[in-house]
Amino acid sequence: MFDKEEILSVSQITNRIKQSLEGNFSRIGVIGEISNFKAHISGHWYFNLKDSGAVISCTMWKGLNNYVFFTPQDGMKIIVNGRITVYPPRGNYQLDVRSMKPAGVGELQAAFERLKQKLSAEGLFDEQFKKPIPTFPKKIGIVTAIDGAAFKDMISVAKRRFPLVELVIAPSRVQGSGAAETIVESLRQLNERSDIDVIIVGRGGGSIEDLWSFNEEIVAREIFNSRVPVITGVGHEVDFTIADFVADLRAPTPSAAMEIATPDKNEVLSFIRNFYNSAEQNLKELIDANRSRIKNILSSYGFRLPMDLVRRGEQQVDNLNYRLFQNIDKKLVSTSNKLLLLIKGIESHDINRALKKGFVLVKQDSRLITRAANFDSTKNTGLKFFDGELEIRQNK
């Protein structure tokens, strides 16, 4: 028989349990396997953490889960830190998660293989869906971090190989929490334009954690659904991501991606010159062959007798010869003019020619200043002339 003072209400005993649990488990780390993971429309995450003997409910609020660099998946083993909380109306306790990380690189690799198998089964890697890469793109979209070395390398390759091409940058984060969402948004922005011929998605090398945004399902599906052909250049040659399997073409590095996307101007000029020379030779051979054929016809028996038939035939041959050579001359002049215009068009984009005329490149913070509105008079300024470079330093 309990004393009257020992009889507690449901609320009282629940509150005592709440105080005891929350006081003794205010900061704990727990390892377990994710199950029943749900990302609510509000941005909060709800899931269970289990092992072979028990299950505990978990919540991770929006704002905290923004710092998680991967998307949790059922079956993934993770380590979380947080505190135990009790919800009195239901008498339930749960783990209020403050931080989350995979329980080792092996868990990320396992998640990689699960998603790879899932998307492969859906056909997202099939060759039949791969779009061809254009040979002479006018505009190339780039999805990467503009402050990274990969972006600078791609610009350098484009200038060297095909200076006529225009680069359209859609800046995005390429590492850490939220990076996958920014990559998806950048891809959508480029696909909304009608003038982009090919898109390069890339970043430099790093660990599996650094490259994880390119292993996210939302990035893979956005690449697959892209109207514009996509080339991936993520990490180093040995690095493979889910994005590489879905892309229309995979390059080992960002620089190699730009090499693939652009033709070599030297090869283009060489092709034009060779085409001009071979076309001239082919025309000469065609003329000689027709001249020989005409001579054979004129010397045949049918043209020797009677004389009026010969004279009439000679007149027709003369007319044909005149028209033939006239058409050939016009074709040669027209083709020559077109080839010269193409050569001059390519050579006119040589930056050294512009500098030699007296133009100057203005740089601040290693970036070209192309508009007066972008010039900052308080910053150091680099001036590139044809015969050298100067740097104007501002007194601070």
- Say if 275 falls within a structural domain: yes
Q: How far apart are CA 291 and CA 89, in angstroms?
A: 104
The answer as to whether 252 is a domain residue is yes
By percentage, how much of the chain surpasses pLDDT 70?
A: 94
Q: Is residue 2 part of a domain?
A: no
CATH number at residue 180: 3.40.50.261
Do 279 and 226 share a structural domain?
Answer: no
Give CA angle at 353 (365, 269), nearest 5°. Answer: 110
Domain annotation covers residue 3: no
Query: Would you say residue 327 has pLDDT above 90?
Result: no
Give residue 383's pLDDT.
Answer: 83
Do 72 and 96 fall into the same domain?
yes
Least confident range of 126-130, 224-228, 282-286: 282-286
Residue type, 353: R
142 in the same domain as 252: yes
Co-location of 338 and 370 in the same domain: no
Provide the pLDDT confidence category of residue 20 given band limits of 50, 70 and 90.
Answer: confident
49-58, 212-221, 344-353: least confident range: 344-353
- Please give the tally of structural domains in the chain: 4
- 1 pLDDT band, cuts 50/70/90, is very low
| Domain that residue 383 falls in | 353-392
**254 and 115 in one domain?**
yes
CA dist., res. 103 & res. 84, Å (int) = 20
> In the prediction, which pLDDT does 308 show?
65
Same domain, 203 and 183: yes
Question: Where residue 98 sits, what CATH number does that domain have?
Answer: 2.40.50.140
Q: What does the mean pLDDT of the chain come to?
A: 85
pLDDT band at 4 (very low <50, low <70, confident <90, very high): low
Establish if 237 belongs to a structural domain.
yes
| pLDDT value, residue 393 | 84
Report the 10 Å Cβ neighbour count for 190: 24
pLDDT band at 305 (very low <50, low <70, confident <90, very high): low
Q: Select the more confidently predicted residue: 304 or 364.
A: 364
1 located within any domain: no
Residues 41, 81: one domain? Answer: yes
- Whole-number pLDDT of residue 75: 82
DSSP letters spanning 203-230: E----TTTTGGGG-HHHHHHHHT-SS-E
Q: What distance in Å separates the CA atoms of residue 114 and residue 36, rounded to the nearest whole number?
A: 16
Same domain, 256 and 269: no
Domain boundary among 243, 261, 279: 261
Rank 106-110, 148-152, 298-302 by mean pLDDT and report only the highest.
148-152
pLDDT band of residue 141 (cuts 50, 70, 90) is very high
If asked whether residues 15 and 60 sit together in one domain, one would say: yes
- Say if residue 183 is in the same domain as residue 251: yes
In a domain, 339, yes or no: yes
Report for 19-23, 274-278, 359-363: range of highest mean pLDDT: 359-363
Of the residues 228, 261, 294, which one is the last residue of a structural domain? 261
Q: What is the pLDDT of residue 307?
A: 62
> Among residues 207, 242, 261, which one ends one of the domains?
261
Structure tokens at 130: 């791969």
| pLDDT bucket at 318, cuts 50 / 70 / 90 | confident
Name 64's Cβ contacts closer than 8 Å, sequence gap at least 6. 97, 98, 99
User: How many beta carbons lie within 10 A of that of residue 289, not counting itself?
Assistant: 10
- Which among 5-14, 209-218, 242-251, 385-394 has the top mean pLDDT? 242-251
Find which of 128-137, 310-319, 342-351 is predicted with most confidence, using mean pLDDT: 128-137
Residue 326 lies in a domain: yes
Q: Are residues 212 and 228 in the same domain?
A: yes
Mean pLDDT of 258-270: 89
Least confident segment among 36-40, 162-166, 351-355:
351-355
250 and 146 fall within a common domain: yes
Identify the CA nearest to 152 among candidates 88, 202, 189, 117: 202
